[in-house]
Structure 1
């Protein structure tokens, strides 16, 4: 469930920071004019690829896309594993592309953007219908202190899901949980009432791993705390922004988590279970609940199908966010984006050139282009059935699926997905998928967005990892019973005295400036 959040500013990018002045030396802050868009014959791009091999220069997917946008694409494909290093090297060189995929708001990108190395697109995107977003909260979250330095790459806003052993619910005569109180009831029954029927007390309710991220990284704890109304990383109170752990409702949520842990309703190795082994307790019949994402639910269903194709459909039930103790739905969203397409001023020097680039990106977000970049080539690697993309295997040895996955890295989809949703392999999986989409859409209406996502505190950029650890450690010690409530509150004060108060001050200064 871990996602790229405001905390991504901690990523190391020293080499990138050092290039800021070099990147901006050839341009100044260009006034907006009525310049006509320059006609581009070629657009140079740098992007990551996640498959084992980069697309060939003459691949059929790229050729089809170029035909739609009327511009040749000269793409430098970089392995995803080394993309960060390549970004630093490229920006320090004399060969900078027109468009770069930037994977997150790391400190180097923030420094360069604010120094003028990338175009501020805030007042331009509204003039391009396919780049004008219908998710303003996501665009705000992807911005840097309210300024938009890239066209964000949209991802599902809502992914939070609760997976429950459907066979255990049936055996114990229980219903799928709808509230946090229901969750406690089911977790207790899965622990105490022998849901596997072996006559032994050898099961527990919820499987939680040692979370690999810091605070507010969409862990199961973060989901519960949002459901309790504590907020999402930050919350707004009295016209100010405050971290969620200063909200009394956060303490209420921790008391709930403590009840789960102290009651034995969570796996006893919750503090050490490696996240790569997260599925195992569920698959082996030791745990009956996982709080994570819909993609994990699909993964678990697939693994259970391999174990037993005849019974897997009876094993997993899935729902979305749960209703909190106040009777309201406070749904935990993702940031809604995964990086963005940014335009360096070192290569795109004038407003006319900028408008030319944006015109091409506008065409790349058209329906026809989205279909090519996300589904592929109709009749070659997919067909359309009932409005869905049904994959077909290519017979000429070309792995079009891998090529399409690479071009999807160039997609933005900022005003909605216009490509075909995937057809599932059977009626059951299709029914599950359709139900998930329906629940995701319903939960999105109650999404609790992080109100501080756009703001980059200098102190947090330098000390954030240390500050996060104070809260993460304090939370774990409290719910385990190792620390008292007074010790938890003392840890929050330690956070403040260690630089946290400065983070709050800086964040609120930026927040106030954004409202002017």
Structure 2
């Protein structure tokens, strides 16, 4: 069996043009088809013995077989031998903290939270190489410089220095998903504002369109916790990402701003309407995805746009008219678009690694941060994972078996493309073209706001926030479900903001913001 893959996507110029494709993670293909021919067997560190690299990385699906056709070819082309410890994403933070505490650090370690106190302390204690002087002006590393996300090397700095190689990802790709076919069935227009969205959800839930006849149609469900993550973009719509200062000139942490309190109140209204799933605070990501894919919910948050088409096809199995679409909603302070830095993780190199080998690892990263290797991680090997028919790529079933969903992306920095998570490999070309044209026409990529706290620093905050984070999250959930009033929640937030340690942290945030962004 073979799967047809579209190979051409219309687009406007990018900061770094790239091929929008990744079959296993449901991205789109583009740009002329097959991966480039092998440019030579030279290793990152030379043409002789393969460079062995010990890595600990995140895993989002099954552990790959490093002896299959894809991984053999990848290591042959790079002249490497990768000894990879694959840690499931759900367990990764715990595992990372254990590694950092033990000091038994692999040669290359992926970090998924640049603000982690454990990571920052390990860096302060000299656990990792400061790569700043080795990279220098990047004259030896043009691919790492030019093929990374815009600003990646600045936003991924820790303590003002480069300790990790950024792993690139699309800067914006999310927004609330809604069942467009259910809107059509009720004669409702596509909502454009957060208020229209709320009204539409109430009507969908009341109409019980899931088809069970048990009045069990859910409104909003989310892949991850609503409060501690991106809130599905709603906090951005309420303006929580916009710098907010206290009377002393300190920059208030965005989750403790009045705008974020307004976001909590909005979810409280949705919950009171019956439009926010009662189990939202404890629902696991796998459970939420399954509920949405089986047609039980009207809206889904915290998942990229690339899933629109695959989700549609999944729901069609039980509801043939299903149509899933990511929407952009306007709120009082912006849009439901959270802009990321374009860096999903960083890859740190243990200080135990000799300097000469550090340079070889950097050479490996430089070699693989190209379109050629991006395509290889997506399509695999011609004749095994794909074939070309009439100039177009057709993927084989072996492609998914060997490459999985995203494992090839975890061992390199990855070539950057801003469209990489907004279109789907499984969709017809016309669908992807229409998606990109629509997003460009509404200024989607320009309207997202960056959370400044993803890049600015405060040593004081790193110490005080972990002590109250769970309590704050619990208070937020209580406010949403009505166990406490909004006045009680506001009083709790005011108490935190008036704490001297928080005020000190806010002054540090203000200084860091000025240093990073200017006035």
Q: Tell me which interval the TM-score lies in, with the shorter structure as reference length.
A: 0.7 to 0.9
Q: Corresponding residue for 1:305? A: 316
Partner of residue 217 from structure 1, selected from 224, 229, 237: 229
Aligned length: 458
Unmatched 5+ stretches in structure 2 = 1-43
Matching of residue 159 in structure 1 with residue 173 in structure 2: yes
- From the superposition, tell whether residues 479 and 383 of structure 1 become closer, same or farther in structure 2 (CA, over 3 Å): same
Given that 1:189 and 1:205 are in contact with CA atoms closer than 8 Å, whether structure 2 keeps it comes out as: no
How far apart in 1 are the matches of 2:208 and 2:97?
Answer: 52
How far apart in 2 are the matches of 1:370 and 1:229?
Answer: 35
For 1:169, what is the secondary structure of its paired residue?
Answer: helix
Q: Corresponding residue for 1:382? A: 386
Report the TM-score, using the length of structure 1 for normalisation.
0.73
Q: Corresponding residue for 2:403? A: 401
Q: CA deviation at 1:148?
A: 1.9
Matching of residue 360 in structure 1 with residue 360 in structure 2: no
Q: CA deviation at 1:332?
A: 1.1
Q: CA deviation at 1:188?
A: 2.7
How far apart in 2 are the matches of 1:103 and 1:40?
Answer: 33
For 1:46, what is the secondary structure of its paired residue?
Answer: strand
How far apart in 2 are the matches of 1:67 and 1:491?
Answer: 58
Given that 1:215 and 1:472 are in contact with CA atoms closer than 8 Å, whether structure 2 keeps it comes out as: yes
Unmatched 5+ stretches in structure 1 = 1-36
- From the superposition, tell whether residues 325 and 366 of structure 1 become closer, same or farther in structure 2 (CA, over 3 Å): same
Partner of residue 328 from structure 2, selected from 321, 334, 352: 321
Deviations along 1:41-62, one digit per CA (max 9) or x if unpaired, are: 44332234746555446x5445
- From the superposition, tell whether residues 43 and 111 of structure 1 become closer, same or farther in structure 2 (CA, over 3 Å): farther
How far apart in 1 are the matches of 2:239 and 2:200?
Answer: 21
Report the TM-score, using the length of structure 2 for normalisation.
0.73
- From the superposition, tell whether residues 213 and 458 of structure 1 become closer, same or farther in structure 2 (CA, over 3 Å): farther
Q: Corresponding residue for 2:338? A: 332
Partner of residue 237 from structure 2, selected from 227, 239, 242: 227
Partner of residue 507 from structure 1, selected from 503, 506, 509: 509
Q: CA deviation at 1:117?
A: 3.5
Given that 2:464 and 2:501 are in contact with CA atoms closer than 8 Å, whether structure 1 keeps it comes out as: yes
Deviations along 1:126-150, one digit per CA (max 9) or x if unpaired, are: 3222101553444434321332211
Q: Corresponding residue for 2:138? A: 126
Matching of residue 447 in structure 1 with residue 448 in structure 2: yes
RMSD: 4.2
- From the superposition, tell whether residues 329 and 166 of structure 1 become closer, same or farther in structure 2 (CA, over 3 Å): closer
Q: Corresponding residue for 1:24? A: none
Q: CA deviation at 1:219?
A: 3.0
Q: Corresponding residue for 1:110? A: 120
For 2:99, what is the secondary structure of its paired residue?
Answer: helix
Q: CA deviation at 1:306?
A: 3.4
Q: Corresponding residue for 2:191? A: 177
Q: CA deviation at 1:318?
A: 0.7
- From the superposition, tell whether residues 163 and 43 of structure 1 become closer, same or farther in structure 2 (CA, over 3 Å): same
Q: CA deviation at 1:365?
A: 1.1
How far apart in 1 are the matches of 2:96 and 2:312?
Answer: 37
Q: Corresponding residue for 1:372? A: 376
For 1:362, what is the secondary structure of its paired residue?
Answer: helix
Given that 2:240 and 2:254 are in contact with CA atoms closer than 8 Å, whether structure 1 keeps it comes out as: yes
How far apart in 1 are the matches of 2:470 and 2:373?
Answer: 44
How far apart in 2 are the matches of 1:56 and 1:296?
Answer: 27
For 2:143, what is the secondary structure of its paired residue?
Answer: coil
How far apart in 1 are the matches of 2:265 and 2:472?
Answer: 15
Residues 267-276 or 240-249, more deviating: 267-276
Given that 2:109 and 2:348 are in contact with CA atoms closer than 8 Å, whether structure 1 keeps it comes out as: yes
Deviations along 1:206-240, one digit per CA (max 9) or x if unpaired, are: 2236x8548441234xx2121122217x7678975
- From the superposition, tell whether residues 365 and 173 of structure 1 become closer, same or farther in structure 2 (CA, over 3 Å): same
- From the superposition, tell whether residues 277 and 299 of structure 1 become closer, same or farther in structure 2 (CA, over 3 Å): farther
How far apart in 2 are the matches of 1:207 and 1:184?
Answer: 10
How far apart in 2 are the matches of 1:301 and 1:216?
Answer: 28
How far apart in 2 are the matches of 1:420 and 1:244?
Answer: 26
- From the superposition, tell whether residues 304 and 242 of structure 1 become closer, same or farther in structure 2 (CA, over 3 Å): same
Given that 1:367 and 1:419 are in contact with CA atoms closer than 8 Å, whether structure 2 keeps it comes out as: no
